[in-house]
Amino acid sequence: MARARWAEELVASFYARNGHEIVARNWHCREGELDIVAIRRSNTSLIIVVIEVKARATNNFGSPLEAVTLAKQKKLRIATKKFLQSRPEISGEARFDIAAVLGTKIEVLENAF
Name the least confident of 1-5, 16-20, 44-48: 1-5
Total residues found in the chain within this entry: 113
pLDDT at 56 over 90: no
List of residues 6+ apart from 73 with CB closer than 8 A: 96, 113
**Strands laid side by side in the 105-109 sheet:** 21-29, 32-41, 46-56, 93-102, 105-109
* Helix %, strand %, coil % of the chain (to 5): 35, 40, 25
pLDDT at 64: 75
Question: Mean pLDDT across the stretch 68-96?
Answer: 95
Q: 3-class DSSP state for residue 52?
A: strand
pLDDT > 70? residue 60: no
Instruction: Return mean pLDDT, the chain.
Output: 92
Q: What is the pLDDT of residue 70?
A: 94
CA distance 66 to 91: 29
Of all residues in the chain, the percent with pLDDT exceeding 70 is 96
Of the candidate CATH numbers 3.10.20.600, 3.60.10.10, 3.40.1350.10, 3.40.50.1970, the domain formed by 2-109 belongs to 3.40.1350.10
Mean pLDDT, range 16-20, rounded to an integer: 97
* More confident call, 75 vs 58: 75
Q: Where are the domains of the chain?
A: 2-109
Structure confidence at residue 45 (pLDDT): 87
